[in-house]
A and B are shown apart, each in its own frame.
Chain A
């Protein structure tokens, strides 16, 4: 049977990808960000999954306002890297797992999560920056990846509670798959940031660290945090953090082992948060 061994959480700031792609990773400004991922890169070499179920959001690249799916599961064999307007990132294409993705789609819909199923979707920095942070700059990504895009662009995104419950349904779906796969679920986006209006540049370190504490120790309680608290306290784009609750919900009910925790301000406009949790 497939098993979820661990979950990873990270911000997915586009400037992080640009810094890597343009060879700026060694600069002092960026070393403070990348330094926080060195232990993670070592850990993941020893805990390489067969498949990553990667929760992220599209930033007006695959989806315009023509179609705004709340939850979109990528079931394709492969996914091209999006041109977001600056040219596509020079990173490998993403190889999916259509069989496992189809199994998850059927299981989730039967569990009353009314997904959108996507067989053609370019993936943007929301998905590729986390891969770069964990895997560096390889010729090919070292595992299969199932993209799961959540609408957090047009308000309201799904509630934290809905996301957490979805994570639990994803756990059930993956653990009912009849192949001995090692699966990780990643939750990306956040932490506090606001990219628009006179309040742009907002950072709330206290909120972010309390969020990390509760995500580890009290995810069920954290899932009841209302949208308004995210946007008021963590910025209009900080609401991306609801996606972390999907990955957390996919973990077992026992307390997880905290393998790594990192927090740094800033990367461009954003507070960078990162966690690795292992099922015990």
Chain B
């Protein structure tokens, strides 16, 4: 309809609009192609190359008047044969999965109660959830280092007082009694802490839009509150659950800063492996291979995430 209007106002205006449209789409599009897609293709290309001294070997060469394309699969062979890489991938997926599950367990009731709070309280609660997000995440993760110390930290002393270490030690989550830092426990705690708002916000967004009359209808039809919750509320908030879970899971797989500050020797994750291949070993092709495999691991969750995003946009 807008197009017709423009056409009526004369060919020049319509042409101008078209040009404007091209510019509006073109500028961010071109930028993303250049700085997001192209770098990936370069990583893919380098992962198929070798280190040739200080430079990266070229894939295509001209030998005996023939164009020769040499793809090195050595990096991928290393990744799939060496246990360091496979177990780091596995550990990353595991910790990301555990973090997502705990975030959902804490976040779903939180989002639910938040959406049920009085209309006056809701904006304040939303603000309270958003505010830590605005203050440096690095500093907040650093703060846990002090908090979890069993001798002096607030949380560490509390955990020791309630003998939480007796529960955590047999589960293999802490290395020794009375030591909470540099363990799987502190790592997961830090990741849950950091990513909880990412879970909360999409959950709250879908739960606050929920039509309460549907719950009343379910109750009128004889459902207990518990049944109404599982069969009405949860299915209707599916998009929030998926979006929140992906927002937590995907970045957690490649997380570097939190394992580095709060993790221990047995929590080596793939982000750190990539980092070391690149910065410590200077092996760019291998680091690229690690990155490509990581992208392949998260590509399905990524597609699910994009799908829900565009569904939300359309509705």
A, B co-complexed: no
Where the two chains meet, the residues of B that have a C-beta atom closer than 8 Å to any C-beta of A are none
Where the two chains meet, the residues of A that have a C-beta atom closer than 8 Å to any C-beta of B are none
